[in-house]
Amino acid sequence: MLFLVGMDKKYELIEPLMTCHCQRCGEERQWSLYKETELASLFFITVWRFTPDYFLVCDVCQDMVKLSRVQGKQLVHMGSRDQKIHDEVEGLVIEHQTINDKS
């Protein structure tokens, strides 16, 4: 008997999320939050969803910053209105872009 097993990745746009400085663009930009879920399927039916990963993407240059799952969840539930999360994520973006510039 033949089993058709598949793995798939699904990207979901959560919302245009926050504005912060993008070093690549050199300007203040809007960043969107994407949720990436890996799915396992059997006979084209989803049988398992893996824990999702969260990415922040610059709307203009498409630079992608991976968030920790905890931060991703916090952003989904509370949004960047929470100043503490906003600052944390902004720090992460700066860190990501600084490391990339050096390499």
For Zn ion, how many residues bind (rule: CB under 5 A)?
7
Is the alpha carbon torsion for 33, 37, 43, 45 positive or negative?
A: negative
For Zn ion, the closer CB: 46 or 98: 98
Q: Within 10 Å of residue 58's Cβ, how many Cβ atoms? A: 20
Q: How far is the CB of 50 from Zn ion (least distance, A)?
A: 29
Q: How far is the CB of 34 from Zn ion (least distance, A)?
A: 15
Q: Is 58 in the site for Zn ion (CB under 5 A)?
A: yes
Q: Is 42 in the site for Zn ion (CB under 5 A)?
A: no
Residue choice 14, 61, 76, 85 for contact with Zn ion (CB under 5 A): 61
- Compute the 3-state secondary structure of the chain and give helix, strand, coil in percent, each to the nearest 5: 30, 50, 20
Q: Which of residues 72-101 bind Zn ion (CB under 5 A)?
A: none
DSSP sequence for 29-59: EEEEEEEEEEEEEETTEEEEEPPPEEEEEET
Q: Quick one: tokens of 99?
A: 């490391």
* Sole window of 19-27, 31-39, 47-55, 78-86 interacting with Zn ion (rule: CB under 5 A): 19-27
Residue numbers at the binding site for Zn ion (CB under 5 A)? 22, 24-25, 29, 58, 60-61
